[in-house]
Amino acid sequence: MNKIYSRIESITGNVITVRADGVRYGELAEVSTRFGKSLAEVIRLDNEIVSLQVFAGGRGISTGDEVRFLGHPMLVSFSDALLGRVFDGAGVPRDKGPALAENLIRIGGPSVNPANRIVPRDMVRTGIPMIDLFNTLVRSQKLPIFSVSGEPYNQLLARIAMQAEVDIIVLGGMGLKYDDYLFFKDALEEGGAFSKTIMFVHTASDPVVECLMVPDISLAVAERFALKGKNVLVLLTDMTNFSDALKEIAITQEQVPSNRGYPGDLYSQLAFRYEKAVDFADAGSITILAVTTMPGDDVTHPVPDNTGYITEGQFYLKGGRIEPFGSLSRLKQQVNGNTRPDHRSIMDGMIKLYASYKDTIEKKSMGFQMSNWDAKLLRYGELFEREMMDLSVNIPLEAALDKGWEILAECFDPKETGLRTELLEKYWPVKTA
Amino acid sequence: MTTTKGSVTGVNGNMVTARVTGAVSMNEVAYIGAEGRKLKSEVIRIRGDHVQLQVFEITKGILIGDGVEFTGELLAVELGPGLLGQIYDGLQNPLPEVARQSGNFLEPGIYLDPLPRSTIWDFSPAVKPGDEVQRADTLGTVPEGSFTHRIMVPFGFMGDYIVKSIKPAGGYDVDEVIAELTARDGTTVPVTMCFQWPVKRAVECYSERLRPVEPLVVKTRIIDTFFPIAKGGTYCIPGPFGAGKTVLQQVTSRNAEVDIVIIAACGERAGEVVETLKEFPELIDPRTGRSLMERTIIICNTSSMPVAAREASVYTAVTLAEYYRQMGFDVLLLADSTSRWAQAMREMSGRLEEIPGEEAFPAYLESVIAGFYERAGIVRLKSGEKGSVTIGGTVSPAGGNFEEPVTQATLKVVGAFHGLSRERSEARKYPAIHPLESWSKYDGSIETPIVKYAHRFLERSSEVGQMMKVVGEEGTSQEDYIVYQKGELLDAVYLQQNSFDPVDCSVNPERQRFMFRILLTILGAKLRLKDKDDARAWFYQLRQLFLDLNGAEWMSSRFNEIKAGIEKLAGERSDGLEIAATRHIEALE
Ligand SMILES: Nc1ncnc2c1ncn2[C@@H]1O[C@H](COP(=O)(O)OP(=O)(O)O)[C@@H](O)[C@H]1O
Ligand SMILES: [Mg+2]
């Protein structure tokens, strides 16, 4: 088995070719260069020509270097020993702990049979009204945070991770700044959650191919824990870096790009990862929260665009707030029917009014006369932004609903809210003198 | 027939190249033996003794030299009783059965019988020995749920046949020979209750195609009234992500007044299919009193399932639709999303190194899309009855921009366009079908001139709205302002509809006409409203009542109470009607 080849035929970008036989598609090899050893994956077979993608990159590889095929695809060790540990994209320890080799599992496995999925039903409480009330997060949901770089998305991820009641947190970092890596580590440690966390971190200075492995390795581990009955939260930051790695590799491979240089299969590549989010009928679950930074704050950019088509909504973080427009939880209706009877109506009603407020702002900025109604909307908008949207607000859903009614009653007559009469009768706060 | 064999010479993603000895045909099915499994694939290019195969599975683990077996058969589906209520993958594997055999994950290389083998069907013959029959003629029937399922002469039987024998009434499974037919040349062929048909060939066993003129009611006001669909017609729903394409199709799949619904979940989220397949068995179809699942087939090739099978899945779906159309049923095929199917073609085209067209889609994209929608149609069968296949496809344009190849190719061939707008969905105006940009070439359940009359208010209201952004409310005349409010009212209480409200989610044509008539008494009224604040307050009050009315059970006492409230409020400010409105209101009585 494990034949060794010592003649590399070609090196282009991160891809090398060797003449070999008996090699399987997707198999791993080890390339030994004078800078050390690196793993490589078979990405193309053409008669006896085998193309391999080298994890550490093509830089410094010599045509005389050794390539040893391992006879198996990419594997990762799976056990409770992973908890509290930090690895890189190839599964090599980044902390001082020992390398793990027992109970190796494959990564990038087949998808779950849709017939065995269940309809998500458990709300994940975050204490953030813009989420709990307006775009409820649901266990097994896959949801990205859309934002421009510079926004506190990693802080938001960490905050949700700490509040959500999950058994295990898997953090997959892609192109993560070292500071951000340390931030996560500190935040999880301070919150006492580090011992239930596993980190697979690719930093901005690591080889690009390893970036590609991070989601698969994180999700493979998460899937095993979920099958053992654990509720797992997977944090992936930043999926735009992952997509850019795909782009870089596709271009060096001379693939025809479809849209702004990204490969035509970007959608399938992202979907293959995000669809790992699942709630097993007879076991645990995987919830995925990701970060997608939007170049130029443009949601039509191929990465956020393809992501939005795949994920079950998105939180749009802008100016340090979760914007009601552009944010969506597609699973909210699975749970917000069983919280409180006024939940859905407050959710819709307040957003419609906030939209009207935005129109009024526009009118005002153009110097138009403000009507009575405009004055009410202006007051409403201000309260809404301060009491609901501000990320420092940390209250349970029920308190947020009560607050919603208070804001409405402070600004409007009941009939102006567009809410149904039954609800108005039941919830409209009676003014006490 | 000796089967052709080959061996793998290359692997690139889901494309495998093989060298063959012997004859192969285009679109033939082949199995690649790898790591003890047989992976299904389809021939997509032949060059000398090399063929290229698109593999319907993950290709990891394939080895140069692995054996390939060619079947000589085109990619086909199995047709027969037992299709209804099934949940298939793109290649017609029954997913619940797959789950029973292999657990939570879709392991590659597992292919199961599409139809249950052990079910005994209660067969009644419809022909006798000596009768002359042709393909698609009825040999007998079996009850399938509440439907009479016709056992037909297989569609591939060209020419005339004489019935040599036919089984008497009784219970048989799908593999039992129920008839023997003798061809002109004297050969006799056995016929069972099921047969195969290649998915990429349209079934054309009818006497003529008719023009789609009969409305297909979906109980969504904006569609049935403003942008109707016809039985046998086609329509598309393009829209950016989150605009409501899937919810609209889910609602349609429940409420559409057709016999059978086929849902093709093509390259989108698995979770959305799960909702349907868990809910439908619990929901009652008011037309039959049985569960909705009994009139539904789900073809499920979601985004993380192998891409090549995604391409096949829409053809699998339309072939099943055509099969039931041959029995005289009205079938609705809902495909979500056709863009994923187009992308699957793009991925494969890239691997084949074809010369790319716009956005790297293949040059033949338009003709393939046109060919798919052409398979819709209302037809007169040879028996004289009618059957129809209606196709509605969502389109997921990159960046939400309709100027992209898939949307444009689709708009060229469909009969109705329900364009969803992000602006409307963000303002929670559902269904977010844009009332000024969408169109339909079909007639709906309310007469076109009446609809046009109301639509004018939407247009003018939008114009005034635009103008108001520039000149402000103070620069707008009271008259224009009232037109603006009329349009807004029509939008808020008629175009918008709450899909999650038990009453409002489904509104039949009778109630639509009724509501439309009341609205006309307001749209067409000369109103006495002294200033803008007065107008706004009055319209908001009306809107409130209409929303309450939309939530009230049809003709309940609450309904009548609210209705009386609307009439009273309207009467207080109305100074009579425009002539056109009076005429239209009379027409709706
Ligand atoms: N008719 C509707 N009524 C209420 N909410 C809706 C409606 N249509 C869509 N939505 C909301 O928008 C979300 C996205 O809708 P969906 O149909 O999944 O969008 P798309 O398929 O266009 O991406 C839903 O999860 C729901 O929250
Ligand atoms: Mg959708």
- Residue A1: is its pLDDT beyond 60? no
The answer to whether the CB atoms of B473 and A22 lie below 8 A apart is no
CB contact (8 A) between residue A119 and residue B356? no
C-alpha of residue A348 to centroid of ligand 1, in Å:
13
CATH number of the structural domain A4-73: 2.40.10.170
Distance from CA of A126 to the nearest CA of B (A): 22
Ligand nearest to the CA of A330: 1
| Two structure tokens written together for B282 | 């619990």
Distance (Å) from the C-alpha of residue B104 to the closest C-alpha of chain A? 6
Interface probe for B, chosen from A21, A267, A336 (most Cβ of B below 10 Å), is: A267
Closest among B391, B395, B393 to B375, alpha carbons compared: B391
Buried b (16+ CB within 10 A) or exposed e, B539-574: bbebbbbbbbbbbbeeeeeebeebbebbeebbeebb
pLDDT tens for each residue of A217-236: 999 999 999 999 999 999 99
Q: Which residues is B144 bridged to in the sheet?
A: B147
For residues B373 and B233, give the distance between their C-alpha atoms in angstroms, rounded to a whole number. Answer: 9
By Cβ distance, the residue of B10, B360, B541 closest to A256 is B360
Q: Which residue of B has its CA nearest to A357?
A: B427
Which residue among A108, A268, A352 sits closest to B307, beta carbon to beta carbon?
Answer: A268
Domain with CATH 2.40.10.170 in chain A: 4-73
Compute the nearest-CA separation of A76 from chain B (Å): 17
Query: Which ligand places an atom closest to the C-alpha of A312?
Result: 1
Interface touch B398/A259, C-beta < 8 Å:
yes
Give which of A171, A148, A176 is closest to A84, Cα–Cα. Answer: A171
- Residue B431: what residue type? P
Instruction: Tell me if A110 and B540 make a contact (CB, 8 A cut-off).
Output: no
Q: Which amino acid belongs to residue B317?
A: A
Q: Enter the tokens of residue A208.
A: 């690009």
Class of domain B121-193: mainly beta
Chain A residues in contact with B357 (beta carbon < 8 A)? none
pLDDT digit string (tens) for A337-394? Answer: 999 999 999 999 999 899 999 989 998 998 888 888 999 999 999 999 999 999 999 9
Interface of A with B in 349-368 (CB under 8 A): 351-352, 355, 362-363, 366, 368
Name the DSSP class of B400. G
Tokens of B485: 């409010």
Interface-testing mutation among B12, B16, B50, B60, with chain A (most A C-beta atoms within 10 A): B60
d(CA B349, CA B334): 25
- Burial of residue A433, with CB atoms counted within 10 A of its CB: 0-12 exposed, 13-18 middle, 19 or more buried: exposed
Nearest to B430 by CA among A336, A419, A348: A348
Looking at residue A368, its pLDDT comes to: 86
Ligand nearest to the CA of A314: 1
Residue A333 CA: which ligand is closest? 1
Model pTM greater than 0.90?
yes
Q: Do A325 and B426 touch (CB under 8 A)?
A: yes
pLDDT digits (tens, 9 = 90+) for A173-225: 999 999 999 999 999 999 999 999 999 999 999 999 999 999 999 999 999 99
Q: Give the CATH number of domain B448-588.
A: 1.10.1140.10
Closest CA to A380 of A405, A415, A348: A405
pLDDT digits (tens, 9 = 90+) for A295-335: 999 999 999 999 999 999 999 999 999 999 889 999 999 99
Q: Is A421 on the interface with B (CB under 8 A)?
A: yes
Those residues with Cβ within 8 angstroms of residue A399's Cβ, 6 or more apart along the chain or in another chain: none
Q: What topology does CATH give the domain A76-334?
A: Rossmann fold (3.40.50)
> Which A positions 193-222 lie with beta carbon below 8 A of chain B?
none
Closest CA to B457 of B476, B471, B478, B436: B436
Backbone angles phi, psi at A382, to 5 degrees: -65, -45
Band of pLDDT at residue A433, cut at 50, 70 and 90: very low
How many Å lie between the centroid of ligand 1 and the Cα of residue B237?
13
Ligand 1 midpoint to CA B71 (Å): 44
C-alpha atoms less than 13 angstroms from C-alpha of A11 in its C-beta half-sphere: 16
Residue B15 one-letter amino acid? M
Interface of A with B in 111-170 (CB under 8 A): 111-120, 140
Q: What is the pLDDT of residue A367?
A: 87
- DSSP strands (E only) in A257-379: 257-259, 262-263, 278-279, 285-293, 313-318, 321-322, 328-329
Q: Best interface-test mutation with A: which of B304, B489, B533 has the largest number of A CBs within 10 A?
A: B304
Tell if the CB–CB gap between A267 and B360 is shorter than 8 Å. no
Residue B17 phi/psi, 5-degree rounding, is -105, 140
| Residue ranges of chain A assigned to CATH 3.40.50.12240 | 76-334
Q: Do A268 and B347 touch (CB under 8 A)?
A: yes
Give distance in angstroms: CA of B247 to centre of ligand 1: 5
- Which residues of B fall within a CB distance of 8 Å from A310? 269, 303
CB atoms within 10 A of CB B344: 29
The span from the CA of B494 to the CA of B511, in Å, is 11
SS3 content of chain A, % helix, strand, coil (to 5): 40, 25, 35
Q: Is the pLDDT of residue A421 over 90?
A: no
Whether residue B121 contacts residue B174, with contact meaning beta carbons closer than 8 Å, is answered with yes
Q: Pocket around ligand 1: residues whose beta carbon is below 6 Å from it?
A: A 328, 330, 333; B 239, 241-247, 430-431, 499-500
Residue A2 has pLDDT above 80, yes or no: no
Q: What angle do CA B127, B130, B132 make, to 5 degrees?
A: 70
CATH number attached to the domain at B79-114+206-440: 3.40.50.300
C-alpha angle with apex B269: B267 to B275, nearest 5 degrees? 125
DSSP strand pairing (B121-125 vs A313-318): unpaired
State whether A302 and B427 contact (CB < 8 Å): no
Question: What is the phi/psi pair of residue A260, to 5°?
Answer: 45, 45
- A98 DSSP assignment: P
C-alpha distances (whole Å) from B86 to each of A50, B280, B317, B331 are: 42, 12, 12, 15
Q: How far is the CA of A279 from the centre of ligand 1 (A)?
A: 21
* Sheet strands (E) in B22-120: 28-34, 37-47, 50-55, 67-74, 76-79, 87-88
Chain B partners of A300 at a C-beta cutoff of 8 Å? 398-401
Q: Residue B294 has what DSSP assignment?
A: G
* Nearest one of A345, A335, A298, A303 to A318, comparing CA atoms: A298
> What's the pLDDT tens digit per position in A129-179?
999 999 999 999 999 999 998 899 999 999 999 988 899 999 999 999 999
Give distance in angstroms: CA of B393 to centre of ligand 2: 11
How would you classify the pairing of strands A197-203 and A168-176?
parallel
B551 with A420: Cβ contact below 8 A:
yes
Name the residue with the closest Cα to ligand 1, atom 27. Answer: A330
pLDDT in tens, chain B (589 residues): 567 999 999 999 899 999 998 899 999 999 999 989 999 999 999 999 999 999 999 999 999 999 999 999 999 999 999 999 999 999 999 999 999 999 999 999 999 999 999 999 999 999 999 999 999 999 999 999 999 999 999 999 999 999 999 999 999 999 999 999 999 999 999 999 999 999 999 999 999 999 999 999 999 999 999 999 999 999 999 999 999 999 999 999 999 999 999 999 999 999 999 989 899 999 988 788 899 999 999 999 999 998 889 989 999 999 999 999 999 999 999 999 999 999 999 988 988 889 999 999 999 999 999 999 999 999 999 999 999 999 999 999 998 999 999 999 999 999 999 999 998 998 889 999 999 999 999 999 899 999 999 999 999 999 999 998 888 888 999 999 999 999 999 999 999 999 888 999 999 999 999 999 999 999 999 999 999 999 999 999 999 999 999 999 999 999 999 999 999 999 999 999 999 999 999 998 8
Domain ranges of chain B: 5-74, 79-114+206-440, 121-193, 448-588
Domain formed by B5-74, architecture: Beta Barrel (2.40)
| List of long-range contacts for A428-432, beta carbons under 8 Å, 24+ apart | A429/A405
* Distance, CA of B63 to CA of A21 (rounded, Å): 9
Ligand 1: residue whose CA is nearest its atom 25: A330
